[in-house]
Amino acid sequence: DGGITQSPKYLFRKEGQNVTLSCEQNLNHDAMYWYRQDPGQGLRLIYYSQIVNDFQKGDIAEGYSVSREKKESFPLTVTSAQKNPTAFYLCASRSGGYNEQFFGPGTRLTVL
């Protein structure tokens, strides 16, 4: 089955540690996105990539980093510089043009 996988579903980390969230897609989509969602709020864009080896900052990129070495993969690193990292993180991909985005199931990150 084609789709987007995110792992792990739940992640706990100690304050001051970096953590990397995985996002893999087998839809052959060119564009990929990372969003953050806080309780009761809409999604906010962190980073996006339209092509391999290229990515752009979204609205809330501070404290995050990404890489796009392969078309299928777009990992997100939450660094210790991110002041409030506890949130629900969602990855998405899109084939191109005005086509819709497909979302993964999300990773819920809790910083202890």
| Residues at the site binding another protein, with contacts judged by CB under 8 A | 31, 33, 35, 40-45, 48, 50, 56, 58, 88, 90, 92, 94, 96-98, 100-106
Q: What is the DSSP string of the chain?
A: ---EEEE-SEEEE-TT--EEEEEEE-S--SEEEEEEE-TT--EEEEEEEEETTEEEE-TT-TTEEE--SBTTB--EEE-TT-S---EEEEEEEE-STTPPEEE---EEEEE-
Shortest separation between residue 49's beta carbon and another protein, angstroms: 9
Is the CB of 16 or the CB of 97 nearer to another protein? 97
Is the CB of 21 or the CB of 94 nearer to another protein? 94
Shortest separation between residue 61's beta carbon and another protein, angstroms: 13
Shortest separation between residue 16's beta carbon and another protein, angstroms: 28
